[in-house]
Every structure is written in structure tokens, then in C-alpha cells.
Copies of this chain bind each other. A is one copy, B any other.
Amino acid sequence: MENIEYVLPGEIEKRSFAIIGEELKERGIVLPPEQEPVTKRVIHTSADFDYAKTMTYSPHAVQIAKELIAGGADIVTDTNMALAGINKKRLGEFGGTVHCFMADEDVAREAKARQVTRATVSMEHAANIDKPVIFAVGNAPTALISLYELMQKSDWRPAFIIGVPVGFVNVEAAKELILKTDVPHIVNRGRKGGSNVAAAIVNALLYQIRPV
């Protein structure tokens, strides 16, 4: 077949990352070494080089997140698609679990009664988890707003926030709230993001840590 190149299955990802590296170079973009594997995997999952300009990291964010995962931190996400995309086997090797409370019946019931989103209630439930938690928000800006409000109301702090919801209503403002906090974070500024992006960020972190 014309234009189809045969590439060994194990080589496809490697080749893709090489192409992403070359095209970043052509665009004159140099990513900080710590951030490079994460931003590149986000571009890999979206084919969208805009992310090279909008991905925002707090100081030493990648190092901090890797240490949390290596220490057995759990992950809470706001979508079942991110839950499906995160490498749970790899996370489990470090003692971590991924939670998504969005489909829980008691979450739905409470959200309906209070006229808030299920994401809001999910985050409140997750704040009760009694171990370090990385929040990976790929869909609902209300999840980020909920985390921000919990921090305003109390001394509670999440261990880490991956803030990459996508959309048109309150998405940009919700991300800016998280950028103002002192919680270590990886946020994609602007409207773009998604559950695929959230999963890609978590997996990029996971793939850089060797199980002991």
C-alpha cells in the first residue's frame, strides 16, 4: 500500500516521540528537561503542538509527582475515561490505586439535591481519603473549583493537582484558581485538555519511575 510504512509494533511509539522532538525543534521550542517527557506525551496523545506553549508546571512539579507516586500515592480522577487510560498495573506496583467516584449513586443523589455537579461532590468525597492523593482532573472545571473551595474553607491540601479539564464554561478561570495556590501542580492553561490528556500526564510520570 502506497504511503504506508511498515514499523515494528514496539517501534511506533519511539518513532512518534522522535518526530515530536524534531518538530518541536523546527518550531524553536526547547522544553525544560524535567517537563519534556510529560509535555511530549501530551502532544503524542493529541497531535496538538499548542500544548508545548500552554502546559504549566509549578517548581519541581515533575519530581514531586514522581516521588508521590513512588511513595504509593493514590490518584483521583473525574472521568471514567481517564480511569481507563491510566496504567493501573504500573501504579499498583508502587502501592497506588486510581479512584473515580463520578458514577457512584450516592454522589449522583447528593449532587442532584444540592444542585451542584457530580464532580463537585466527588472531590469532596475524595478529600476524605487518608493518604497522599494526586487529583487528575480531565473533564470538569467544577472539580477544580471544588478543590479550591475546600482549601479556602480548611487547612486541607491535596498532595498534587493535575488540572487539565477541557471546555468552554469556567474552564480557564478554574485553572487560574489552581495556579494561584501553593499546591504543586501541572496545569494546561486555556480551554484545552481532556481525560486523554490527564491519563497521558499520569502515564508519563509513571513511565519515568522504576519499580524498586
Contacts and interface: CB of A to CB of B under 8 A. Distances in A.
A209 interface: no
Given A46-B194, A47-B192, A116-B9, A19 B169 contact: yes
B115 A9 contact: yes
A99 interface: no
A90 interface: no
A125 to B, nearest CB: 17
Contact of A47 (B3, B84, B118, B193): B193
Interface in A144-161: 145, 148
A111 B5 CA distance: 18
B15 A168 contact: yes
| 5 nearest A-B pairs in the assembled complex, by CB-CB distance | A84-B84, A47-B191, A3-B173, A16-B168, A19-B168
Given A81-B84, A145-B4, A196-B81, A20 B168 contact: yes
A29 interface: no
B4 A173 contact: yes
A169 B7 contact: yes
Given A1-B177, A9-B111, A111-B9, A168 B47 contact: yes
A47 B166 contact: yes
Contacts of A174: 4
A30 interface: no
